[in-house]
């Protein structure tokens, strides 16, 4: 009985570091590539158009409230723009 335990024990010890190191490197490679893909996948999605926000920010009433906005409207009228604002 003792001989069977000694035969099984060295096989388990010799296999575990090799299998463990292979799986660890494979997992680290996958996680690094996934993290890079996730990190750079968000570029180009900053602009999400909203009509309400556009009119509040650049609309006619917003331009009339400030001196700079009134100057913009005046310049656009002098230039002959059909659309003064959004």
Rounded distance, CA 47 to CA 68, Å?
A: 26
Biggest CA pair distance of the chain: 103
Q: Is residue 13 a part of any domain in this protein?
A: no
User: Is the per-residue pLDDT at 54 higher than 90?
Assistant: yes
**Integer Cα distance of 75 and 51 in angstroms:** 24
| Threshold 0.85, pTM exceeds | no
Sign of CA dihedral 38, 41, 42, 43: positive
Q: Domain range for residue 64?
A: 51-85
CATH code where residue 60 lies: 1.10.287.3980
Average pLDDT over residues 16-26: 57
Looking at residue 78, what is its pLDDT? 98
The answer to whether position 55 is within a domain reads yes
Tell me if 69 is assigned to some domain. Answer: yes
How many Å apart are CA 22 and CA 86, to the nearest integer? 60
Q: What does DSSP assign to residue 41? A: T
- Let me know if residue 57 belongs to a domain: yes
Is residue 67 a part of any domain in this protein? yes
Q: Name the domain count of the chain.
A: 1
């Amino acid at each position: 009985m003792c001989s069977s335990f000694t035969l099984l024990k060295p096989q388990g010890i010799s296999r575990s570091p090799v299998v463990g190191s292979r799986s660890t490197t494979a997992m680290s490679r996958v996680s690094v590539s996934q993290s890079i893909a996730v990190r750079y996948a968000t570029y180009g999605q900053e602009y999400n158009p909203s009509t309400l926000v556009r009119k509040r920010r650049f609309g006619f009433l917003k331009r009339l409230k400030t001196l700079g906005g009134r100057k913009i409207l005046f310049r656009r009228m002098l230039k002959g723009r059909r659309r003064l604002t959004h």
